[in-house]
Amino acid sequence: MSGLRLVPRLVITPRRQVLQSIVALGLALLVGAICLLLAGLSPLDVYLHIAEAGLFSIDGLADTAVCATPILLCALGLLLPFRMRLWNIGGEGQLLLGAWAATGVALFLPSWPRSLLLLTMSLAAMAAGGLWGLIPGVLRVRLRTSEVLVSLMLNYVALAWLRFFVFGRWSENGFPLTPQLVKSAWLPRLLDWAERFPILAGLPSHAGFLWALLLAICLGVWLRRSPVAFDLRVIGDSSRAAQTAGIPVGARMILAMTVSGAFCGLAGMIEVAGVVHRLQDRFSPGYGYSAIIVVWLARLSPSGVVLVSILFGALLVGSKDVKPSGVAQLLQGLILLTVMASEIGLRYRLVRTLPKDKI
Amino acid sequence: MAMDTLSQLSHLLAAGVTRAAPLLIAALGAITAERAGVLNLGVEGVMLLGAMTGFATTAATANPWLGLGSALLAGAALGLLYAVVVVSLQADQVVSGLALGFVGTGLSAVLGAPLAAAPQKIVELPQLSIPFLQQIPLLGRALFATSVIVYVAFILLLITKLLDASRWGLHITAVGENPSAADAMGVPVLRYRYACTIWGSGLAGLAGGGLSLAITPMWVDDLTAGQGWIAVGLVVVARWRAIPAAWIALLFGVLRRLPLELQGMSALLGNPKLGYLFEMLPYLGTIVVLVIRTRPGVGKYFAPPSALGIPYVRGMQK
Amino acid sequence: MKGISKRFPLVTALSDVSFSVALGEVHALLGENGAGKSTLMNLLRGLLQPDEGQILLQEHPVTIGSPQQAAALGIGMVHQHLSLVGTLTAAENVLLPRLPFWISKRRLQEEFAQLRSRFGMTVDGRALVAELPLPERQQVELLRVLAPAPKLLILDEPTAVLTIEEAARLALCLREHVGGGGSVIYISHKLDEVLAVADRVTVLRRGRVVAAGIPTQSLDRAELAQQMMGEQAALSSQLQEERSERTGIMTERAEILVVENLHVESDRHHRVLRGVSLRLRAGELFGIAGMGGSGQHELCEALLGTRPVHSGQIYLGGVNIGNFPTGKRRQLGLGVVPEDRLLEGVAPHLSVAENCCLNPQLRPQSWLSQSAFVRKARTLIAQVELPESALSAPVWTLSGGNMQKVILARELAAPSLRVLVAAYPCRGLDIGAIAAVHCLLRACCQCGIAVILLSEDLDELLSLSDRIAVLVAGQLHGECAATDADRTTLGLLLGGVIP
């Protein structure tokens, strides 16, 4: 036999993982460039614009933080089920429902003091999102229904639910949006202090980003230290072994799905309270879907999720005024696909086998 | 009154059959691919690209047949890409499938932007009426005086069914059930997986083309609205068999059509906005059917192909 | 084959092995588990490539790069794990490589019937393979391999699942094949069986040839056994005496595990356990013999709680645990060495240290950390003689023996352990690891832990058990004290002959 052969790697170093991701990213940009060329755009211009608008300006960074927040929260949530190879594809629906619940609270309890109102909104959003994650979790565990399909279908159900309220019940003068929420339901923003520090004028970053970072740190510690999180890892690696070892696999699955739904719901609340300040049709450009990609690119690590979320936030911000609008989504998909394709390079290495049969 | 109900029913059925056609086409493709052991969760994105390509080609050439063909090719091209990633490079099929879906969706939005910006009329796929047969009450209109895409779906159903009785069909089953055994019997596993993945994805593209050329003749972003996903669910519900897939596709087709029919009713109920809630029906219906049909202990032979989603690496025993 | 060597990352499986097969002969390859038989065969089959040496076929050097190439060269193989497609019929499986494009069911069955009668088989061509009992599946596999009339037929442990009648049928079938000018390599570790079918014998031990091409007529059985086993002799009489003393003590101990009239269904809703009852005293080792597929798997799962019990009771220390989840059963003192190490026993990509703490009851207290895992694991692996350097390696990189040691260390560490179910704990292990596992099981009993040992190896069971029974077709038969066990009866039961 002469030629090349794949030999499994015994140890995968973090350095190799990072290297592999960078190579995959480069490849994705290359393929993306070809697609952009096909669409009659100059890839270089587009890429430079995205980088500049998303990362290399104060305004851009502020926008990026805003955009990264819901992605980060959703991705943190999705991390849990993904670690146990349970695919919650319903982040988007859970986010929408969370936003709906938070809006409902703000619309009906406008007189509550700010901190209490924000807290209630968060809890309502987490409950709504959590419920939306619980459904596919329970169906999967009790009736073995594919959680991929159920959670995905629920996205569309949540969307229809939202539109029923936005267009109907809570519509303001027949426009597809609710009235603006009271100021006490708004998250504090940088530009609130613009009078004292003029440099902050026009920066829309809100406290939600800090919340998300804080949650990321907590989740990171919890994942490292908690016995339950260890259960998740064991289940993810081998659910049969986990079962044999006496880990309550079903209960853990339901827990992970519910918590992930709650995180996504919280993301919805933060988007409502921090950015749009009302509920409207199409307020999320698919944060819940982007989060799926983010989790995977971050290789299921919370710190990685923070980093990749910010990059994706930048990508979304930067490509906001790039026409056509699908560029961001295309690039996201391509990046994920190339990362998946290059995964084989992590698991195996190429070995040149010497020709030895021609003796 | 009775006459009226009948004609209404016949109308609903006809509309349901047309809506079912793309679902069925996409599902048939997915069935073949999954029977060979390749799960493709990117059907939604592939359908979108197919829809966009078909529409663009037809808009440029005024020939819907060319459009349909190009939709098939676009789908097949994505299928080839996907096969490289999951068959040759052995990537995780769940996540790669999602990625493929994103790529398809994004690509269709990027390339289709000019079309979406300037809506235009195109030459639709023709309707085909078969004399006499079309006058059969209830069924006549649904089956024999309908869009060409329905006949395409029938032909593909026939092809998938015939495949079962051929060498190829048995080989595909073997490859999806026990690839190392198939390999030992001299069946070229990877070649079959490539072929089935490309074929399956091609059909998804074709289904998208059918959508934008016959059913909702236009191009907007996210035209499919989850139909690709419904097709994936349909495969599970139909237990990887073609004929049940056809029936369930019909059910889902009617379910998809129902919100439109119910619009009138919601006005009667005094709240026209209820129509938004009826939009949930196809998705809730899918979940319900999925739960009922896949719960443990149902049916004797309910089992996905054993090697579904598992890359084949020669020499590695299960 | 000449001067073949094959090394794996951790072991040298074969070193400088040569042997030859003549036309028209049945050549047996004898060896213990782990002697390198299967590696050798995978080389011939094209699944592996030799690191050194070459393969000659009719005096021409050949490279076998894939099973297809092997098939093209006229090499057919019946593997231990059957290569059949469960959802296809027997006839479809056999004729799959040589189908016409359009398949006529009738023609298929006719062709199959012809083949079947030529080799004296009985299996129904229209039955789905997944629903056939194991011996009939083996018939299908044999027919499949024989159908293209291979020059060289390789059988890997063919009688592992066959009854005595079936084995005789197999011998006839092989004669038919050899008579037609083919050759057969017959791999086994059963001496008697080999003597019955083979013309010549080659013995492998630890990757080396220790006896090459001895004709079966001029064979010294005792010597051959010695060569095959190495230094390990048969059961000493001293051990026998010790055990009969133990049996005396045992009757006074309390019953710790009682299973009454247990019925369990398989995944396909077949009743696979039909009224299994057993009683186990503290410190007793109960051996359950029987070929895989007669309910062993389901018995383990039912005891562990990962498979629902259809009817019947399981009492552990007097508590009915039949409806308890696995975790609770473990807390009450149940431990398991699962049948499939890699799939059920370990989380393969987690480290050895983490795998030592897989069971919730074995976790370091409160918050976890790598160092806490390592500290905990260090105390566990000392008793099974694993190097400490292995602690941070992912488990899948370990050899089968070491992996089994990790599992045993973990299961034995549970402070509440009272009953250990060990399913085929020595399957696929090398001799050293087998000895270690046996030693640990004995130590277990000495500490008063009751052990259920499931095994296919009668010698192993007879040497370890206090009592023994055979699980056939979902029921326990022939229960007796190991010292009174009659090998012939057990052998018949194992072969599926129920009195």
Q: Please state the three-class secondary structure of A206-228 as a single string.
A: ECHHHHHHHHHHHHHHHHHHCHH
Residue B50, domain member (yes or no): yes
Looking from the CA of C295 toward its CB, the CA atoms found within 13 Å total 24
Which residues of chain A neighbour B103 with C-beta distances below 8 Å?
A: 330, 333-334, 337
Contacts of C66 in chain B (CB under 8 A): 314
In a domain, B304, yes or no: no
For residue A158, the distance in angstroms to the closest alpha carbon of chain B comes to 8
**Residue A53 domain-assigned (yes or no):** no
Q: Looking at the structure, tell me whether residues A131 and A183 fall in a common domain.
A: yes
Query: Which residues in chain B touch residue A169, judged by CB atoms under 8 angstroms apart?
Result: 273
Identify all chain C residues contacting B36, using CB atoms and an 8 Å cutoff: none
- CA dist., res. A30 & res. A341, Å (int): 15
End-to-end CA distance of chain A: 12
The set of residues, in sequence order, having a beta carbon less than 8 Å from that of C408 and lying 6+ positions away, is C337, C384, C425, C437, C440
In eight-state DSSP terms, residue B136 is: S
Among chain C residues, CA nearest to B314: C47
Q: Is residue B201 within 8 Å of B40, Cβ to Cβ?
A: yes
Residue B258, in any domain of the structure: no
- What is the 8-class DSSP label of residue C362? G
Chain A nearest C-alpha distance from B57 (Å): 14
Rounded CA-CA distance B87/B100 in Å is 14
Q: Look at residue C292 in the predicted model and tell me its pLDDT.
A: 64
| Distance of alpha carbon A296 from the chain centroid | 10
A-C contacts (CB, under 8 Å): 84
The winner for highest mean pLDDT among A277-286, C16-25, C206-215 is A277-286
Quote the number of domains for chain B.
1
CB neighbour list of residue A27: distance below 8 Å, 6 or more residues apart: A338, A342
Identify whether residues A328 and A314 lie together within a single domain: no
* Contacts with C100 from chain B: Cβ below 8 Å: 167
Residues A247 and A153 in one domain: yes
Q: Give the whole-angstrom CA distance, residue C493 versus residue C499.
A: 8
Indicate the length of chain C as a whole number.
499
Six-digit token string for A41: 């755009």
- In a domain, residue A5? The reply is yes
Q: Report CB contact under 8 Å: B276, A167.
A: yes
Mean pLDDT, residues C348-376 taken together: 81
**Is there a contact between A243 and C394 if contact means CB atoms under 8 Å apart?**
no
Tell me how close the Cα of B221 comes to any Cα of chain C, in angstroms. Answer: 42
Cis peptide before A113 (omega within 30 of 0): no
pLDDT at A326 over 90: no
Instruction: Give residue ranges of C with CB < 8 Å to any B CB.
Output: 42, 47-48, 66-68, 71, 77, 79, 81-88, 92-93, 96-97, 99-103, 144, 268-269
As a whole number of angstroms, the distance between CA B178 and CA A23 comes to: 34
* Cα distance between residue C298 and residue C267, in whole Å: 9
| Chain B positions in Cβ-Cβ contact with residue A237 (cut-off 8 Å) | none
Chain C's closest residue to B317, CA to CA, is C81
Give the phi and the psi of residue C141 in degrees, each rounded to 5: -60, -45
CA distance, residue C496 to nearest chain A CA (Å)? 30
pLDDT at residue A144 in the model = 86
Residues of B in contact with A39 (CB under 8 A): 110-111, 113
Q: Hey, what's the torsion of the CAs at C20, C22, C26, C28, to 10 degrees?
A: -10
CATH 3.40.50.300 for domain C237-494, yes or no, is: yes
Q: What is the mean pLDDT of residues C118-130?
A: 81
| Separation of alpha carbons C324 and C322, rounded Å | 6
User: Residue C437: what residue type?
Assistant: V
Q: Is residue A47 domain-resident?
A: no
Residue C440 CA to residue C411 CA, distance in Å, equals 11
Please check whether residues A232 and A296 belong to one and the same domain.
yes
* Chain C residues with beta carbon closer than 8 angstroms to that of B182: 85, 96
For C361, nearest residue in chain A (alpha carbons): A246
Kindly determine whether residue C67 and residue B184, on different chains, have CB atoms separated by under 8 Å: yes
Note the pLDDT of residue C161.
55
Residue A205 domain flag: yes
DSSP 8-state symbol, A96: H
Chain segment C275-328, per-residue pLDDT in tens = 889 888 888 899 998 766 678 888 998 999 888 888 888 998 888 888 888 888
Find the range with the poorest average confidence among B259-268, C129-138, C191-200, C255-264: B259-268
Interface contact B287, partner A, CB < 8 A: yes
Chain C contacts in chain B segment 159-198 (CB below 8 A):
165-168, 170-171, 173-174, 177-178, 180-187
- Would you state the pLDDT for residue C232? 44
Q: Considering only CB atoms, which chain C residues are within 8 Å of B306?
A: 86
- Closest-approach residue (CA) in chain A for B287: A150
**If we measure between CA atoms, which residue out of B66, B70, B7, B16 comes closest to residue B205?**
B70
| 3-state SS track over A27-91 | HHHHHHHHHHHHCCCCHHHHHHHHHHHHCCCHHHHHHHHHHHHHHHHHHHHHHHHHHCCCCCCCH
Domain match, A31 and A77 both: no
Domain extents in chain C = 2-229, 237-494
Instruction: Spell out, as residue ranges, where chain B has pLDDT lower than 70.
Output: 1-4, 133, 138, 140-142, 263-272, 297-302, 314-318
pLDDT tens-digit readout, B164-204:
888 898 899 999 988 888 887 778 889 999 999 999 999 99
Q: How confident is the model at residue C429 (pLDDT cuts 50, 70, 90)?
A: confident
Q: In this predicted model, what pLDDT tens digit does every residue of A260-301 receive, in sequence order?
A: 999 999 999 999 998 888 898 888 888 998 899 899 888 888
Q: Is residue B85, in this structure, part of any structural domain at all? A: yes
Tell me which amino acid residue C34 is: G
CB A263 within 8 A of CB A95: no
In a domain, B205, yes or no: yes
Single-letter residue type at B176: G
| Host domain of residue A14 | 1-41+324-359
C-alpha–C-alpha distance, residues C305 and C382, integer Å: 30
Listed residue (C92, C169, C100, C94) closest to C135, CA to CA: C169
How far from A162 is each of A98, A262, B276, CA to CA, in Å?
10, 17, 9
For residues A346 and A276, state if they share a domain.
no
Residue at A50 is within a domain: no
Residues A124 and A242 in one domain: yes
Dist CA C441 CA C450 (whole Å): 10
Q: Tell me which residue in B165, B184, B314 faces C102 most closely, judged by beta carbons.
A: B165
Asked if A87 is an interface residue toward chain B (Cβ–Cβ < 8 A), one would say yes
Q: How far apart are CA A38 and CA C85, in angstroms?
A: 45
Interface probe with B: pick from C80, C87, C93, C141, most Cβ of B within 10 Å: C87
pLDDT tens, residue by residue, A233-271: 999 998 889 999 889 999 999 999 999 999 999 999 999
Closest residue of chain C to B180, computed from CA coordinates: C83
Question: Of A202, A209, A214, A206, nearest to A188 (Cα)?
Answer: A206
Question: Is residue A257 located within the same domain as residue A148?
Answer: yes
Q: Report the chain B residue with the minimal C-alpha distance to residue C80.
A: B317
How many separate helices (H) and strands (E) can be counted in chain A?
13, 2
Would A36 be classed as within a structural domain? yes
Minimum Cα–Cα distance from B283: chain A residue? A153
Alpha carbon distance B26, B49 (integer Å): 13
Indicate the pairing of strand C475-481 with strand C467-472.
antiparallel
> What is the percentage of chain C residues whose pLDDT exceeds 70?
82
Question: Are both A143 and A194 inside the same structural domain?
Answer: yes
Give yes or no for residue C148 having a pLDDT over 70: yes
Please report how the helices A249-271 and A114-143 are oriented relative to each other, as an axis angle in degrees rounded to 10. 140
Find the CATH number of the domain harbouring A209.
Answer: 1.10.3470
**Candidates B170, B317, B318; nearest CB to C92:** B170
Nearest CA in chain B to A135: B287
B287 part of a folded domain: no
Span C367-390, pLDDT tens digits: 777 788 888 888 887 777 777 777
Please give the interface size between B and C, counted as residue pairs whose CB atoms are below 8 Å apart.
67
Residues 211-270 of B with CB under 8 A from A: 221, 225-226, 229-230, 232-233, 236
CB contact under 8 A, B106 and A167: no
pLDDT of residue C9: 40
At CA A290, angle to CA A284 and CA A295, rounded to 5? 140
Which two structure tokens, joined as six digits, stand for C366? 């409160």
What residues 329-368 of chain C have any CB closer than 8 A to a CB of chain A? Answer: 329-331, 336, 338, 343-350, 354, 357-361, 363, 367-368
- Would you say the C-alpha torsion B130, B244, A140, C348 has a positive or negative sign? negative
On whether the CB atoms of residues A292 and B41 are closer than 8 A, the answer is no
Q: Is C361 left (phi over 0), alpha (psi -120 to 50) or beta?
A: alpha
Percent of chain C with pLDDT over 90: 3
Query: In A, which residues are within 8 Å of C394 by CB distance?
Result: 10-11
How many whole angstroms separate alpha carbon A284 and alpha carbon A166? 14
d(CA B36, CA B304): 11
How many helices (H) and strands (E) in chain C? 17, 20
Q: Could you give the strand order of the β-sheet that contains C2-7, starting from the edge strand earlier in sequence?
A: C12-17, C2-7, C52-57, C60-62
Quick check: is B112 in a domain? yes
Q: Is B153 on the interface with C (CB under 8 A)?
A: no
- pLDDT tens digit string along A173-215? 777 888 888 888 888 887 777 777 777 777 778 888 999 999 9
| Contact yes or no for A230 and C343 at CB 8 A | no
Q: Which residue of A has its CA nearest to C364?
A: A227
CATH, range C2-229: 3.40.50.300
pLDDT digits (tens, 9 = 90+) for C54-75: 777 777 777 777 767 777 788 8
- Please check whether residues A37 and A72 belong to one and the same domain: no
- Residue A162: band (very low, low, confident or very high) from pLDDT cuts 50, 70, 90: very high
Q: Contact A49/A322 with Cβ under 8 angstroms?
A: yes
Task: Tell me if C66 sits within 8 A of C46, measured CB to CB.
Answer: yes
Provide the 3-class DSSP secondary structure of residue C140.
helix
Residue B69, min C-alpha distance to chain A (Å): 20
Are residues A160 and A213 located together in one domain of the fold?
A: yes
Same domain, A345 and A232: no
Residues 385-414 of C with CB under 8 A from A: 393-394, 397
CB atoms closer than 10 angstroms to residue A7: 11
| Cβ–Cβ below 8 Å for A240 and C343 | yes
β-bridge partners, C186 = C28, C155
Q: Which domain holds residue B25?
A: 21-117+145-238
Please report all neighbours of B, defined by 3+ CB atom pairs within 8 A. A, C
Region of C315 (left: φ > 0; alpha: ψ -120 to 50; beta: rest) is beta
**A160, A324, A340: residue with CB nearest B99:** A340
Specify if B167 maps to a domain.
Answer: yes
Q: In what order do the strands lie in the sheet with C419-423?
A: C334-337, C419-423, C450-455, C285-289, C467-472, C475-481
| A residues 282..321 contacting B (CB < 8 A) | 289, 292-293, 296
A287 vs A304: CA distance, rounded Å: 17
- Shortest CA distance from A138: residue in chain B: B291
Residues of chain B contacting A285 with CB distance shorter than 8 Å: none
Helix or strand or coil: residue C321? coil
